[in-house]
Amino acid sequence: MEPPTQSNNELDFDPNHAREIQAFCNSLHSMNNEADKFQACIEIRDELLGRQTKLEWLCASVEEVMLAECAQYKKERSCWST
């Protein structure tokens, strides 16, 4: 499997993400046991979900600061919500 890149995916990938995907793919290819592959998939899924949770917390925290510290942002933001 070829890792997603700008040319084959609409998302603008960070080169580190492409390397991470390729490394994971390579690690799966090196495994002969399906149980080991499954365990590796579960582990990376859990790691990525943890990273997503941390990023969502960061975004929410920064949003709170922007709303508290920037009157124009707060005013404009109120127009974005439906």
pLDDT, one tens digit per residue, over 7-30 is 555 566 788 999 999 999 999 999
Any domain includes 11: no
- For residue 40, the enclosing domain spans 31-80
Any domain includes 39: yes
The H or E element containing residue 48 is helix 34-69
pLDDT band at 57 (very low <50, low <70, confident <90, very high): very high
- Round to whole Å and give the CA distance between 71 and 82: 19
Q: Are 4 and 16 in contact (CB under 8 A)?
A: no
Q: What is the pTM of this model?
A: 0.71
Q: What angle do CA 52, 82, 67 make, to 5 degrees?
A: 60
pLDDT of 70 above 70: yes
Question: What is the pLDDT averaged over residues 72-76?
Answer: 93
Any domain includes 38: yes
Any domain includes 12: no
Any domain includes 56: yes
Any domain includes 10: no
Q: What is the pLDDT of residue 62?
A: 97
CB-CB neighbours of 21 under 10 Å:
17
Number of domains, the chain: 1
Any domain includes 75: yes
Any domain includes 9: no
